[in-house]
């Protein structure tokens, strides 16, 4: 069994940051305040934090299609996305894959290929890579196949999305319309006909949602509802067992979710940028009011790391509480009891961060499932099992 020790860092243990050491044996943290092993990392002057658990990230789409209509192989895109995620401290990544009624980037073929490629490539990827299926509820033709996937245990998170109203509204906005049409590869006329045919089936959507939610419950797959617009909408999804509210669009809806004990997800880019790019809810305000329990990368992998430190620097919450939003809380939301905290017996997903410039934290090292997968300062590697802590700190 491979052993690794982390010596002399400031570790987040529960709600406190204390100077200690960690010993890793195999894939797990073997002990806290015990730094003996055969290979070590000098963590002096660094923060030692649990790896980031990212419930919703779709930045990988840019690796698949960096420009409209320009495709790259999915395996190449996943490898590049894995490097980006890990280098930004993300050790568990849920690739949020949209399966819509439209063809192209978010169509059926891409959803199937992504699932198959993730399943094939998991052993090669540094981050624990999982499949988060974002189902467009008007995509009625996909229902039976999705139910099969749920029953086979192929879906790790399942979200209900409904972007039909915004799609119809965007048809009259040239810039937004152009982006949508280019993504599908259709002509303008063909896209209009497709939207019309899909909208006409709206009366079948509620029953489909109920059947899919029942299948997810039977498979013990955690569910999310996306862009809840009202307390009534959140309550309807909650009644179907959907316990994660993803990006509620107003405070009233977020408050209803919080009072019911639901997990509430907002985008970390919202925090980093100081507000939503859509003009909706400001995530830092929701966090200050206790109306946000999870932050996700959304469309930008560096965002969770930056958001946690910005929240602390702005005095919204202490760093320990900010870090829980991107580690232990998303782990609980996803039903992952083996990660998100630094404790004996937990999966050894650990990152070392240089916080010399608080607003620009820098990831120095990443350990995923006990393996050192990212290191920017080779001089921090230690090869002795008995280096005194003071000697390490002075090196």
Domains parsed from the chain with CATH numbers: 3-50+341-394 (2.30.40.10), 52-333 (3.20.20.140)
What's the Cα-to-Cα distance from 15 to each of 21, 208, 320, 322, 351, rounded to whole Å?
17, 43, 5, 10, 17
Predicted confidence pLDDT, tens digits, the chain (395 residues): 678 999 989 999 999 999 999 999 999 999 998 656 568 999 999 999 999 999 999 999 888 888 877 889 999 999 999 999 999 999 999 999 999 998 888 899 999 999 999 999 999 999 999 999 999 999 999 999 999 999 999 999 999 999 888 778 877 888 888 888 887 888 888 988 988 999 999 999 999 999 999 999 999 999 999 999 999 999 999 999 999 999 999 999 999 999 999 999 999 999 999 977 666 789 999 999 999 999 999 999 999 999 999 999 999 999 999 999 999 999 999 999 999 999 999 999 999 999 999 999 999 999 999 999 999 999 999 875 444 444 333 33
CB 135 within 8 A of CB 89: no
What is residue 35's predicted lDDT score, i.e. its pLDDT?
A: 58
Residue 60 CB partners (closer than 8 Å, separation 6+): 77, 78, 81, 95
Q: Say what the pLDDT of residue 393 is.
A: 36
Query: What is d(CA 90, CA 233) in angstroms, rounded to the nearest whole number?
Result: 31
- Asked if 303 and 272 touch (Cβ cutoff 8 Å), the reply is yes
Residue 384's pLDDT is what? 56
Helix or strand run (H / E) with residue 170: helix 164-170
Q: Provide the pLDDT for residue 394.
A: 34
How does 173-199 read in b/e, with b if 16+ C-beta sit within 10 Å?
eeeebeebbbbbbbeeeebeeebeebe
Phi, psi of 337, rounded to the nearest 5 degrees: -85, -5
Rounded to whole angstroms, how far apart are CA atoms 102 and 181? 9
Residues in the chain: 395
Q: In this predicted structure, what is the pLDDT of residue 164?
A: 82
- What pLDDT is recorded for position 281? 82
Specify the DSSP class assigned to residue 67. B
Q: Which residue has the tokens 């809810």?
A: 281
SS3 262: coil
| pTM: predicted TM-score of the whole model, two decimal places | 0.91
Quote the strand ranges of the chain, DSSP E.
3-13, 16-25, 28-32, 39-42, 47-50, 52-57, 90-99, 128-136, 157-161, 222-226, 244-246, 263-267, 294-296, 350-354, 362-368, 371-375, 381-382
In this prediction, residue 37 carries a pLDDT of: 59
């Amino acid at each position: 069994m491979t052993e690794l020790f982390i010596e002399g860092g400031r570790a987040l243990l529960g709600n406190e940051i204390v100077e200690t050491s960690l010993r890793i044996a195999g894939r797990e943290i073997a002990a806290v305040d015990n730094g003996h092993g055969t290979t070590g990392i000098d963590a002096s002057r660094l923060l030692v934090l649990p790896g980031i658990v990212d419930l919703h990230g779709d930045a990988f789409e840019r690796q698949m299609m960096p420009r409209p209509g320009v495709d790259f192989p999915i395996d190449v895109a996943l490898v590049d996305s894995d490097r980006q995620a890990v280098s930004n401290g993300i050790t568990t990544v849920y690739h949020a894959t949209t399966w819509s009624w439209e063809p192209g980037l978010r169509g059926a073929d891409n959803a199937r290929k992504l699932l198959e490629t993730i399943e094939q490539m998991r052993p090669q990827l540094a981050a624990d890579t999982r499949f988060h299926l974002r189902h467009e509820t008007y995509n009625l033709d996909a229902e039976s196949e999705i139910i099969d996937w749920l029953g086979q245990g192929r879906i790790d998170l399942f979200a209900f999305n409904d972007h039909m109203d915004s799609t119809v509204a965007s048809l009259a906005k040239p810039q937004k319309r152009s982006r949508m049409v280019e993504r599908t590869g259709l002509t303008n006329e063909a896209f209009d006909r497709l939207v019309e045919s899909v909208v006409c089936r709206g009366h079948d959507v509620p029953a489909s949602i109920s059947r899919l939610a029942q299948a997810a419950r039977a498979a013990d797959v955690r569910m999310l509802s996306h862009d809840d617009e009202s307390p009534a909408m959140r309550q309807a999804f909650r009644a179907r067992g959907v316990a994660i509210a993803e990006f509620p669009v107003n405070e009233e809806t977020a408050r209803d979710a919080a009072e019911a004990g639901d997990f509430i997800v907002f985008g970390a880019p919202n925090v980093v940028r100081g507000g939503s790019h859509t003009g909706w809810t400001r995530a830092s305000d929701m966090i200050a009011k206790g109306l946000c329990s999870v932050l996700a990368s959304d469309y930008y992998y560096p965002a969770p790391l930056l958001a946690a430190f910005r929240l602390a620097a702005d005095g919204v919450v202490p760093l320990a509480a900010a870090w829980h939003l991107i580690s232990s809380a998303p782990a609980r939301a996803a039903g992952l009891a083996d990660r998100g905290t630094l404790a004996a017996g937990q999966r050894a997903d650990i990152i070392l961060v240089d916080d010399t410039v608080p607003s620009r934290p820098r990831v120095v090292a990443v350990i995923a499932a006990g393996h050192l997968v990212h290191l920017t300062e080779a001089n921090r590697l230690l090869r002795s099992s008995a280096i005194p802590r003071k000697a390490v700190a002075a090196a």
